[in-house]
Amino acid sequence: MKKLKLENEIYRTLVANYKEWLDILGYAESTVYYLPNHLQEFFYYLEQNRIKTINQITTKTVKEYYRHLQERGNERRNGALSKSYLNKHQQALKKFKEYLQNHNHKGINIHLKSEQEPTEEKLNILTQSEIKELFTATSYSHDTAKIRMRDKAMLVVLYSCGLRRNEAVYLDTSDIYFDKERIFVRKGKNYKERFVPINRKNAEILEDYIYEARPQFKDSHVHEALFINKFGTRMQGTSFSNRLQAIIKASENKTITEKHITPHSLRHSIATHLLQQNVKLESIKTFLGHSSLESTQLYTHLLKTIENEGL
């Protein structure tokens, strides 16, 4: 929904501070952008219903707002808001409750049940054969060899290691423990650190990039960043997204293109593939760096949807 203008100065300040809080905690750029927008829509609803302070928000207020969302039309296409989109609105409110509690406020009561089987999410999952196509496409994703090798290394950390985009951005060369076949993730969500396993084949891809391609980038010897750009500085999230789109384009696979793949889609994909291989949910939770098993369990619903529809 287009940005709604808030008249209440307190609400405007809360949206700005909430956005800054999410950014400081290390959430993905998309989360830092969208969740405050969803919160702003909630505040706009409060203003329209003459609720001037957050202390006036009740469980009934939240439930009525959610019913309003369920009945609101989708501005981009016909029909109602998707279950996936409704879940993101829920996430915005639940994170706002957490924000308030972290700032010495009792928070707000949110008794909303997550929408099951987010039908749109399954479209963003790549099959294992499609993942192989992307790796193959890195052989011709750019005219320059060092970029192609960096593309392949990027796929390793985003898919094979299941890292969030922001985690990949802040990887340093010293975080790759080749002897222990581990990657140290120091910039995880909420700044939680973890080790992620890496197999020999993927380790060799990273070795080729670090020792053959990376030294060809400007000022590579003075920077610790694993992924550096043509200017000799740390490669940022937008560049990861742009390079992924270049790889997808190089694959010339229409099906992959239509799935609207993002770096986070690769993380969703590896989680789903691990479930398909009967890896224990607790192990996947540790691998992904989830703080609770509830987050990981969402993939079981997603896998069920995929299998039911034969995708």
Q: For 289-299, write each residue's pLDDT tens digit.
A: 887 776 677 67
Mean pLDDT score of the chain: 85
Q: 3-class SS at 194? A: strand
* Rounded distance between C-alpha atoms, residue 273 and residue 129, angstroms: 11
Q: How confident is the model at residue 260 (pLDDT cuts 50, 70, 90)?
A: confident
Range scoring the smallest mean pLDDT among 88-102, 235-249, 269-283, 293-307: 293-307
Tell whether the model's pLDDT for residue 311 goes beyond 50: no
How distant, in Å, are the alpha carbons of 118, 126, 271, 286 from that of 308? 13, 16, 18, 27
Q: Strand 176-177's sheet: what is its strand order?
A: 176-177, 182-185, 194-197
Structural domains in the chain plus CATH codes: 9-115 (1.10.150), 123-308 (1.10.443.10)
* Rounded distance between C-alpha atoms, residue 52 and residue 71, angstroms: 24
**Residue-wise pLDDT tens digits, 108-132:** 777 666 665 544 445 478 999 999 9
* Rounded distance between C-alpha atoms, residue 252 and residue 137, angstroms: 9
Q: How confident is the model at residue 181 (pLDDT cuts 50, 70, 90)?
A: very high
Tell whether the model's pLDDT for residue 304 goes beyond 80: no
Instruction: Please tell me which residue, 139 or 285, carries the higher pLDDT value.
Output: 139
Structure pTM? Answer: 0.65
The pLDDT assigned to 273 comes to 92
Q: How confident is the model at residue 31 (pLDDT cuts 50, 70, 90)?
A: confident
* Rounded distance between C-alpha atoms, residue 107 and residue 94, angstroms: 9
* Rounded distance between C-alpha atoms, residue 243 and residue 181, angstroms: 26
The pLDDT assigned to 44 comes to 93
- The strand ranges marked E within the chain are 176-177, 182-185, 194-197
* Rounded distance between C-alpha atoms, residue 152 and residue 227, angstroms: 11
Q: Using alpha carbons only, how large is the chain's radius of gyration in Å? A: 21
The pLDDT assigned to 187 comes to 65
End-to-end CA distance of the chain: 30
What residues are annotated to the active site?
164, 189, 264, 267, 290, 299
The pLDDT assigned to 231 comes to 92
Averaged over 162-180, what is the pLDDT?
Answer: 93
Averaged over 276-290, what is the pLDDT?
Answer: 86
Q: Which of 154, 132, 130, 157 is nearest to 142 (CA)?
A: 154
Instruction: Please tell me which residue, 90 or 187, carries the higher pLDDT value.
Output: 90
Q: How confident is the model at residue 154 (pLDDT cuts 50, 70, 90)?
A: very high
Q: Which of 296, 262, 295 is nearest to 281 (CA)?
A: 296
User: HEC states along 133-163?
Assistant: HHHHHCCCCCCCHHHHHHHHHHHHHHHHCCC
